[in-house]
Amino acid sequence: MVGCVTTEKPVVTSPIPMENYDEDVLRAKASDLNMRLVDYLHALSNGKIADLRKQPFILYQAYDEKWGNDPFINPVFATKAEAEEYAKRNNMSEFEGGHSYIVREVNYRYEVRQVNDAGNDLLFTCRTHNEAYEYVVEYSSSHSDLVIYDLKTGRSFEETP
């Protein structure tokens, strides 16, 4: 038997140069696409990120109309099943003031709200934290009380510069 044998080891290439590797940034970008970091890195190395960004962006929100101004009570989920489970577990419409959730599709993950003593007004919705932050920067000269809410994680960011 004759065969070709090589002693060279394959070169492993990364889609991101190591000097530019910032795990927090990569995790945020993966999260914006509703992906795990490892899946995002695979898609990045295979040149699939542009295709993923073109796909419709759908999340499922457990929404209680009576509490529509409270983003912490109206979370979003990656799957309809997760949202339905949350709604089922937290529905208490038989009690006065209890939650009455419906599950609906939304095309945003972040809300920018103007929150002050006079109200809690929704101003802008978007897919990524970066888009929300750009909105806040653009309108911060007019408002000093803008807050970004991440409906998926339940975190809020008081971002007025």
154: left (phi over 0), alpha (psi -120 to 50) or beta: left
Ordered by start, the domain boundaries in the chain are 22-54, 56-107, 109-161
Q: Based on C-alpha coordinates, what's the Rg of the chain?
A: 21
**Identity (one letter) of the amino acid at 154?**
G
Give pLDDT, residue 12: 47
State yes or no: pLDDT of 113 exceeds 90. yes
Count Cβ atoms below 10 Å from residue 125 Cβ, excluding itself: 18
Average pLDDT, integer, range 108-120: 90
**Identity (one letter) of the amino acid at 37?**
L
Average pLDDT, integer, range 110-138: 90
Residue with tokens 């809300």: 111
pLDDT per residue as tens digits for the range 51-69:
766 666 789 999 999 888 8
What DSSP element (H or E) covers 41?
helix 37-45
Q: Which of 69, 64, 110, 118 is nearest to 91 (CA)?
A: 64
Give pLDDT, residue 85: 95
pTM over 0.75: no
Q: Do β-strands 110-116 and 102-106 pair in parallel, antiparallel, or remain unpaired?
A: unpaired
Q: Which of 83, 41, 94 is nearest to 59 (CA)?
A: 83
Give pLDDT, residue 104: 93
What is the C-alpha to C-alpha distance for residues 91 and 3, in angstroms, rounded to an integer? 68
pLDDT per residue as tens digits for the range 33-42:
777 888 878 8
Chain centroid, CA 64 distance in Å = 20
Question: What sections of 46-123 are H helices per DSSP?
Answer: 49-54, 80-90
